[in-house]
Amino acid sequence: MPLKKRGISQETCEHFGYQIGEYKGRTVQIAPYYDSDNNLVAQKIRYKDKTFRWLGDQSEALPFGAQAFPKSGKKIVVTEGEIDALSMSQVQGNKWPVVSISCGAGPQVRKYMAQQKEYFSAFDEVILMFDMDEKGRQAAKEAAKVLGARAKIADLPVPFKDANEMLIEERVEDLVNAMWRAQPYRPEGLVDLSSQREKVKEAPVYGLSLPFPTLNKITFGLRLGEIWAFGAGTGVGKSTLLLQIAHHLIAVHKVNVGAFFLEQSVRETSRRVAGVEAEKTFHVPDSGWTDADIDAAFDRLDPAKGTGKLFLYDSFGNNTWDTIKEKIEYLHHTEGVNYFFLDHLTALATWQDDERQALDLIMSEMSTLTQRLNITILLISHLSTPDGKPHEEGGRVMIRHFRGSRSIGYWSHGMFGLERDQQADDPTQRSLTTLRVLKDRFTGQATGETITLKYGRETGLLYEGDDAPAGEYGLKYEATEGSDF
């Protein structure tokens, strides 16, 4: 008989074998399921309250309605429920294949479609017309992943949830059009080159400047969405370099910064950042500074006066990647922080049974995080002992020296090595650091370039080449008005 409230005709019900009957004294709707030889193997019993139960054996059953149509052809429509299959078939005069999955929407749809793949493979196009709620849309994507290139996904017009709602509202033409306009499934992340024409015309932009002119020139600045990795031997000056960059971002570019310096206290990090601002070695006893110098530096770095905020992490020994990741997400979403400093990466894997495997996982997740949030992370990595000259004696840094170097080298956009001979007899030589560009993914042009940095003992700062005045350290890096530098 017809399903009048659903707008389903008796003819459609007869075509599918969909019946009204009784089960244990209760009126029910009965959806028959057949196997590939058209043998009735199961029935889905639907009660008035929309609950249901199964009779028979579903394991060999094809999708609902398969027995009513040829089992191959150019096109088949697949709905999420039996009533929607009846509706979609009826608007086409019950002439073209329409079936319904029996598993419902949810993660189980992937397994179900895999089981039914042989059946669906006999059709050139499989149009998935699942419900328009979030659950149905996700289920359609999961089903399409299994079916591959033959899968298309249909969108119904707002505000309709499913095919039967459209049939009841007599939106027959729109329902048929939704079938014809179904779009081929394309996994997320795939982009057609032709769609990028206008975006390609947008000129590449410089990132934020760094406090070293040549480094700016060859890297084109610090861009969002990247990971920069720095490696050096113990005591070569990598933490000093990162602190100068962090200070430059908050003082010159006035952006908020998050800093995770895991091997020094928050007080020590604060003292060194203030020292960069004052160009004084606040971390060195009896080096000529006063409390007034510290107050002046903190006053100038007060966000109330327009500088960016520097957020420091007091680890209390809790140095796990999951904890750091949580703090990064919090600072990004609540404080607008887009630039993060991590000193050092190796500390996050020290207590793992397999350090290399742990670093591989951390770097993979870090890369995903930078892309998802569009943030930049500058990190320090310890180095493995080289075969030749030690790094602390000026030995050349290579990508393969980075601990867990395979993953760091793979995921980092920029990689830099710092080399300094701390044991040189000449004190001037001991103050010189070579900054070597090991990897430049942005253009590739900087790879292999080197920059000489000189450490100013009186200021505690690194200067590029001749920028360090002899005996008089007062160099400031100012942003040029109207540019990122």
Given pLDDT bands bounded at 50, 70 and 90, which one contains residue 477?
Answer: very low
Cβ burial of 425 (10 Å; 0-12, 13-18, 19+) is exposed
Angstrom distance (rounded) from CA 230 to CA 133 = 47
Calculate the alpha carbon distances from 164 to 14, 16, 169, 176, 373 in Å: 18, 16, 9, 12, 40
Judged against a pLDDT cut of 60, whether residue 75 lies above it is answered with yes
Q: Are strands 450-456 and 461-464 parallel, antiparallel or unpaired?
A: antiparallel
- 288 versus 5: which is more confidently predicted? 5
Confidence band of 37 (pLDDT split at 50, 70, 90): very high
Q: What angle do CA 385, 389, 391 make, to 5 degrees?
A: 55
Q: What angle do CA 244, 249, 250 make, to 5 degrees?
A: 100
**Cα distance between residue 472 and residue 466, in whole Å:** 12
| Pairwise pLDDT comparison (54 vs 287), residue with the higher score | 54
Mean pLDDT of the chain: 88
* Cis ω for the linkage preceding 159 (within 30 of 0): yes
| 324-350: burial string, b at 16+ Cβ within 10 Å, e else | beebbeebbeeeebbbbbbbbbbbbbe
What pLDDT does 347 receive? 80
Tokens of 401: 């020296």
pLDDT digits (tens, 9 = 90+) for 406-462: 788 888 999 998 888 878 878 778 888 888 999 998 888 888 898 988 888 888 888
Helix or strand run (H / E) with residue 216: helix 213-219
C-beta pairs of 430-437 under 8 Å, 24+ apart in sequence: 431/455, 431/457, 433/236, 433/237, 433/462, 434/394, 435/212, 435/215, 435/241, 436/396, 436/397, 437/218, 437/219
Per-residue confidence (pLDDT) for residue 198, from 0 to 100: 85
Triad 297, 300, 306: Cα angle to 5°? 150
pLDDT at residue 481, rounded to an integer: 37
Rounded-to-integer distance, Cα 311 and Cα 299, Å:
16
- Ranked by mean pLDDT, the top range of 31-40, 286-295, 393-402 is 31-40
pLDDT higher at 236 or 326: 326
Going across the sheet that includes 257-261, the strands are 310-312, 257-261, 339-343, 376-381, 227-232, 414-419, 432-440, 450-456, 461-464
pLDDT at 483 over 50: no
Q: What is the pLDDT of residues 363-419, one digit of tens each?
A: 889 999 999 999 999 998 877 777 777 766 777 888 888 876 578 888 899 999 888
Structure confidence at residue 329 (pLDDT): 94
* pLDDT value at residue 332: 95
Q: Which residue has the higher pLDDT, 43 or 382?
A: 43
- Strand arrangement of the beta sheet that strand 26-34 belongs to: 19-23, 26-34, 40-46, 52-56
Q: Rounded to whole angstroms, how far apart are CA atoms 451 and 212?
A: 9
Q: What is the pLDDT of residue 461?
A: 87
| Domains in the chain: ranges and CATH | 4-184 (3.40.1360.10), 213-467 (3.40.50.300)
Phi, psi (deg, nearest 5) at residue 462? -95, 135
- pLDDT bin (cut points 50, 70, 90) of residue 474 is very low
Residue 235 clears pLDDT 80, i.e. is over it:
no
User: How many percent of the chain have pLDDT more than 70?
Assistant: 93
Please give the biggest Cα pair distance in the chain.
Answer: 101
More confident of the two residues 447 and 237: 447
Mean pLDDT to the nearest integer, 68-74: 96
Ramachandran quadrant class, 158 (left: phi over 0; alpha: psi -120 to 50; beta: rest)? beta
Question: What is the pLDDT, as a whole number, of residue 396?
Answer: 83
What would the pLDDT profile of 167-226 be if each residue is shown by its tens digit? 999 999 999 999 999 999 887 777 888 888 888 887 777 899 999 999 989 999 999 999
Average pLDDT over residues 217-240: 87
| 317 pLDDT more than 80 | no
pLDDT of res. 414: 93
The predicted pLDDT at position 466 comes to 61
Contact 249, 339 (CB under 8 A): yes
